[in-house]
């Protein structure tokens, strides 16, 4: 069994919820393009990240950069954007409101 990637942030729980986003469906972490590290949200990255934020360019949407906090499966950006707010591996629901912030992580 592969070890789950480390998720950095403020008050991160086992399913990747954090101080900023902690509803039942807040269960993903994003690997930031700028530093290659997983954070639960952009606010955690601002607080304890690399201070050099950059978004994933469209030509790299094949990269695995989304972590399901329930099963630990890593999704490509394309798979995440196409998944209709649930993990394609374990079917855990993701917060559909995350789409409001996609411009903070991915080129739109």
Cβ atoms of 8 and 61 closer than 8 Å: no
- Which pLDDT does position 51 carry in this prediction? 87
Of 49, 94, 57, residue with least CA distance to 75: 94
Q: Provide block-wise average pLDDT over 10 residues at a time, the chain (108 residues).
A: 88 97 96 98 96 95 98 97 96 94 95
Give the Cα separation of 56 and 62 in Å (integer): 10
Give the Cα separation of 52 and 33 in Å (integer): 10
pTM of the model: 0.95
- Which pLDDT does position 27 carry in this prediction? 97
Give the Cα separation of 91 and 100 in Å (integer): 21
Cβ atoms of 71 and 90 closer than 8 Å: yes
- Which pLDDT does position 3 carry in this prediction? 87
- Which pLDDT does position 1 carry in this prediction? 53
- Domain boundaries, given as residue ranges, for the chain: 28-104
- Which pLDDT does position 102 carry in this prediction? 95
What is the number of H-type helices and E-type strands within the chain? 2, 4
């Amino acid at each position: 069994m592969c070890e789950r990637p480390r998720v950095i942030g403020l008050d991160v729980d086992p399913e990747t919820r954090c101080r900023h986003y902690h509803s039942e469906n807040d269960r993903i972490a994003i690997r930031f393009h700028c530093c290659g590290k997983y954070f639960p949200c952009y606010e955690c990255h601002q607080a304890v990240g690399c201070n050099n934020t950059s978004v994933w360019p469209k030509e790299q949407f094949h990269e695995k950069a989304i972590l399901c906090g329930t099963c630990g499966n890593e999704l490509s950006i394309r798979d995440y954007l196409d998944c209709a707010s649930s993990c394609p591996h374990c079917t855990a629901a993701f917060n559909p409101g995350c789409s409001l912030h996609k411009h903070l992580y991915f080129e739109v």
